Structure 1
C-alpha cells in the first residue's frame, strides 16, 4: 500500500547526535564484499604512471645458464657475451637498481660505486674482463674529452662534486661512444 503520510521519517540518531554515522554504515553494508586480492604471482605487474613496468636491471639480456657439462664438472656458466656499450648500460642500470655510493666499492645495503657496478655486472655473468677493460677505456676517453681529467673513473666517482646523475651521464656517453665505434 502506498504511503499517504508525506512527513519525513525521523532520522536515525547516533551518539554524536547526527544520523551521518548510521547513514554511512547503511551505505557500506549495501556494497558487495570486496574481492580477495590475488596471490602475488597472479597480480599484474606494477605499471608506473609513465607507462612502463618495473624491470630487473638485466632486462633484455639472457640470464647466464650453465650447460649440462658445466653442471657435471661444477663449473660456472659461461658469461653472456655483451659489447662494451652494453656493459656500460648494464652498469648504469645496476647503479639505478642497487643505489650509488662514494668512497667504497659497495656497502652493506648493496649500494655500489662505478667500479662496484662494473664488477657486479661481470660477477653476474655479463661480459668478460676484456669487456670491462674496453669499457673503462671508453669511460676515460669521455672524461678527458669533456674536460674532466681524472686518473681513473673511480677517482671521478669519489670526487665530492660528483653526483649520481653525473655518473649515469658518464656511463651513457661512454656507451654511446663505444656503440659508435662498434665496441
Structure 2
C-alpha cells in the first residue's frame, strides 16, 4: 500500500500541468477599486510652466550671443595689436566654453580637428582666443572644473584627462561645465 502511495506522489511531482488558479483575484477582492478610489481622491499635480516655443522655429544664434564682441580701438589698430579682451567672470567663461562646444562639436584625444570640433581645453582656448576673458580667468575656471570633478567622485589629474576618458560623452562635458559655472557663480568668481 505504501508503494502505491509513493508511486502516486512521484507522478504528481513530474506532472507539468499548471497549478490551480488562486481562489481570490485582485479584481474580485476590491483592492483595485480601493486603489482607484484613493488615487482619484488625490489632488491633481501642479502644472509646470514650460518655456514658450515659437511655432515658426528660431533663428540660429552665435555661441557668444549676449556678450559684446571685442572691439579694437583706434590705438589698437594703429599699433596693430589685438583688441582688449572682454572682461568675463569664470562662470561666464565656462558657459561660453559649453556654448562653443555645442556650436562647433566635441572631440576626444586632440585639441581640435579639421572639422572645427574641439575638446574641453580647445573650447576654453577658443573662447580666450576670441577675446573673452584673460588667462587668469581660464585658470580660475579650470580650478572650478577640478573642484567639481573631485566633489562628484570623478577624480582626475586634469579636466583634459576626464575629457579623453573612453567613458566620457559630450553630455558629461556639458554637465561638468554647467556645474562648474554654477559653482563659480555661487562663489562670485
Q: How far did 1:48 drift?
A: 7.0
Following superposition of structure 1 onto structure 2, how do residues 126-165 of structure 1 map, counting pairs within 5 Å? 126-165=132-171
Residue equivalent to 1:173:
179
Q: Deviations over 1:115-153 (max 9, x none)?
A: 000000000000000000000000000000000000000
d(CA) in 2 for partners of 1:158 and 1:50?
39
- Over the aligned positions, Cα root-mean-square deviation in angstroms equals 1.5
Q: Given the alignment of the two structures, is residue 120 of structure 1 paired with residue 120 of structure 2, yes or no? A: no
Following superposition of structure 1 onto structure 2, how do residues 37-48 of structure 1 map, counting pairs within 5 Å? none
- Closer/same/farther in 2, CA of residues 68 and 104 from structure 1, 3 Å limit: same
- Closer/same/farther in 2, CA of residues 48 and 106 from structure 1, 3 Å limit: farther
d(CA) in 1 for partners of 2:176 and 2:169?
11
Determine helix, strand or coil for the equivalent of 2:67.
coil
Q: How far did 1:52 drift?
A: 4.2
Q: How many residues align?
A: 137
Determine helix, strand or coil for the equivalent of 1:180.
helix
Task: Please identify the structure whose Cα radius of gyration is greater.
Answer: 2
- Contact 1:48 1:54 (C-alpha < 8 Å) held by counterparts: no
TM-score in terms of structure 1 length: 0.73
d(CA) in 1 for partners of 2:84 and 2:138?
16
Gaps (5+ residues) in structure 1?
1-46
- 2:104 corresponds to which of 98, 101, 104: 98
Residue equivalent to 1:73:
79
Gaps (5+ residues) in structure 2?
1-52
Residue equivalent to 2:65:
59
Whichever structure has more helix as a proportion of its residues is 2
Q: How far did 1:54 drift?
A: 1.8
